[in-house]
C-alpha cells in the first residue's frame, strides 16, 4: 500500500513521472497536414507494406522485418534483407511507431513518411537501386495504378515515391495497441493489474526509469538519449553496445556518439531480443542491464521480476487485420 500511495502522489506531480503514470495510449495517431489518413491510403499502404516486389529480389517486404502478425519486428538479433544479408541492428517494432518523435534506432528520420523511404533502397535491406526503379515497377502492375488513383486522385501522376511513402505511413498510423492492463488500470479499473505489476510500476518510477521512458507510449518527452550513460567494461565485453555510435553514424559528429532514439516500452515483452544490436535475449536480463548502464543501480532479483511483470502489463490489444490481396501480373513476372 505504501508504494501504491507513492504512485498516487506521483500522478499529482507535474513532469515525466505524472505523464508516465497517468496517460493511457491514444487509440488514434495524429497525421501531418499534408498526409491526412484516409481508408484508401491505408488500404494501399497495407498492400505496399506487405509486397516483396518493392525489393530487388522480390523476397523482402517491410513486413519481413516488421511483422504485424507478431510484435511488429522479427525476433532476430539482426534483421535479414535481400540475398541473406544482415545489418548491424535489431528491427524496432512498428506497433505504435506513430507516437515516436523520430524513427530508426539512430533517429535519422523525422517522420514515418521519411522512414518508409529508407529501407527500400538500402543495399542490405530491400536493395532497390533507386526509387525511380520502384516507381517504374509499380507502374507495370495494373492493380496498383487503380489503387494509387483511388488514394491520391487521377488529376496528376499518382504513382510516385512521395505517394508510396505517404500510403505506407498512413497504414502504419493505424498500428496502435491500446487497452493494455496498464491502460485499463489508469482509466480506473484497479483490478486490471496484479499486485506484482503495481509493485513493478512503482519500482520503475522510484528508480528513475521514467526519466526516459515517459508519456503514453513510454518513449520519452524528447528524441534521443545516450546509451550507455554509465559505460561498463563487463557488459561491453559481453554485448558490444559501444561498437555502434548511434546518431553519429549518420551525422559524423563526435557530440552525437552513442545517441539513440528512446524506444517504446509498449509490447516489449513480445520483442526479444533487446537493445539496438539485439544482443540480449531475455527481458529480465535487459532490465538489469538497463538499470546498471543508465541509472548505475544494481537491481535485486525480486525488483527485476516485479518490473518485468509490469512491462508485461504494457502488452496491448492488437487490431484485427486481414492480409491484403496484392495486385497481380497475370501472364508475366514483375521483372
- Residue positions annotated with a catalytic role: 125
CB 77 within 8 A of CB 232: no
Q: How far is CA 133 from CA 13, 119, 261, in A?
A: 53, 14, 31
Phi, psi of 13 (to 5 degrees): -80, 165
Burial class (CB in 10 A: 0-12, 13-18, 19+), 234: exposed
- Retrieve residue 184's grid coordinates: 485499463
| Residues ≥6 apart with Cβ < 8 Å to 23 | 186, 215, 216
d(CA 314, CA 294): 21
C-alpha torsion sign, points 201, 205, 206, 207: positive
Q: How far is CA 245 from CA 110, 213, 228, 253, in A?
A: 19, 21, 11, 10
Amino acid at each position: 500500500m505504501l508504494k501504491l500511495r507513492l504512485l498516487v502522489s506521483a500522478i499529482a506531480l507535474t513532469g515525466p513521472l505524472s505523464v508516465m503514470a497517468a496517460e493511457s495510449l491514444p487509440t488514434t495517431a495524429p497525421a501531418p497536414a499534408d498526409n491526412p489518413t484516409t481508408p484508401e491510403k491505408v488500404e494501399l499502404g497495407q498492400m505496399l507494406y506487405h509486397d516483396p516486389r518493392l525489393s530487388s529480389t522480390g523476397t523482402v517486404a517491410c513486413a519481413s522485418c516488421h511483422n504485424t502478425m507478431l510484435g511488429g519486428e522479427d525476433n532476430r538479433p539482426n534483421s535479414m534483407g535481400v540475398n541473406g544479408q544482415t545489418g548491424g541492428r535489431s528491427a524496432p517494432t512498428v506497433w505504435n511507431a506513430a507516437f515516436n518523435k523520430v524513427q530508426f534506432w539512430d533517429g535519422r528520420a523525422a517522420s514515418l513518411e521519411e522512414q518508409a523511404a529508407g529501407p527500400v533502397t538500402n543495399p542490405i535491406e530491400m536493395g532497390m537501386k533507386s526509387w525511380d526503379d520502384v516507381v517504374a515497377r509499380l507502374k507495370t502492375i495494373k492493380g496498383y495504378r487503380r489503387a494509387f488513383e483511388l488514394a491520391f486522385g487521377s488529376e496528376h501522376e499518382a504513382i510516385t515515391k512521395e505517394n508510396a511513402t505517404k500510403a505506407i505511413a498512413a497504414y502504419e498510423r493505424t498500428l496502435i495497441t491500446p487497452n493494455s492492463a496498464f491502460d485499463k488500470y489508469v482509466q480506473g479499473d484497479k483490478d486490471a493489474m496484479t499486485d506484482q505489476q503495481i509493485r513493478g510500476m512503482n519500482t520503475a518510477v522510484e528508480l528513475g526509469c521514467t526519466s526516459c521512458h515517459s508519456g503514453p507510449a513510454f518513449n520519452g518527452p524528447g528524441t534521443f538519449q545516450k546509451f550507455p550513460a554509465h559505460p561498463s567494461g563487463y557488459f561491453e565485453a559481453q554485448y558490444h553496445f559501444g561498437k555502434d555510435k548511434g546518431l553519429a553514424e549518420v551525422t559524423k559528429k563526435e557530440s552525437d556518439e552513442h545517441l539513440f532514439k528512446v524506444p517504446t516500452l509498449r509490447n516489449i515483452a513480445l520483442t526479444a531480443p533487446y537493445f539496438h544490436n539485439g544482443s540480449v535475449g531475455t527481458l529480465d536480463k535487459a532490465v538489469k542491464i538497463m538499470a546498471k548502464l543508465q541509472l548505475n543501480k544494481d537491481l535485486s532479483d525480486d525488483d527485476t521480476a516485479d518490473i518485468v511483470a509490469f512491462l508485461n502489463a504494457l502488452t496491448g490489444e492488437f487490431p484485427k487485420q486481414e492480409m491484403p490481396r496484392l495486385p497481380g501480373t497475370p501472364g508475366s513476372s514483375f521483372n
